[in-house]
Amino acid sequence: MNTIITGGTKGIGLAIAHAYAREGSNLSICSRNSEDLTDFKAQFEKQYPGLEILVFKADLSVKKEVQAYAAHIRNHWSHVDVLVNNAGRFIPGKIQDEEDGVLEDQINTNLYSAYHLTRLMLPLMLPQSGGHIFNICSIASFMAYPNGGSYSISKFAMLGFSKVLREELKEKGIKVSSIMPGATWSASWHGADLPQSRLMKAEDIALAVVSAWKMSPSAVVEEIIIRPQLGDL
């Protein structure tokens, strides 16, 4: 089995990588940070011997780098079973106060990265009439909140992309799930002065993803909303 996870070296992506490695899946991971990728590869090859661990440095907000990453995958694998579009970036702010270019940055990173990579990977999924695409959205995909700004706009768009993809692929045997987590311990919350129990663990999101993936071919979880027990922050 072959699994792609974008932004897989930290937070939710890293937790999902561990979850699929435990299921015996080969992994392809990308990140913008070479050092993080080196550490990831060393850790996973030691912890999960026998699995193929592919890493690739790419900034998926840049279309040419998405294309380069896709070419790297095609050079190693003839098929893909799971694609997790997790790469993203959170820039807080209000629309009227944001710096020029923030919307473009958020759309490029949080939407176009998934759009372009999915289109490039579908030829490795369609021939087997199976597979699962997980789009990591957010509660910001369906509700606006203060200081959400362009991030929320991009996440609304990501959920729309995911819904369209679901309709297009249902007859092809490929499942599409939209995952909408609330506040989760990740790089975005680094240094936050909050008790550990106030935010969800990244492993909670990974468990939801793998549980949805394990369902029979006749069932698909279209959307999952996961929030901290004490509610949104």
Nearest to 23 by CA among 51, 55, 58: 51
Nearest to 37 by CA among 67, 61, 5, 62: 5
Catalytic residue among 20, 48, 112, 151: 151
Assess whether 151 carries a catalytic annotation: yes
Residues tagged active-site: 151
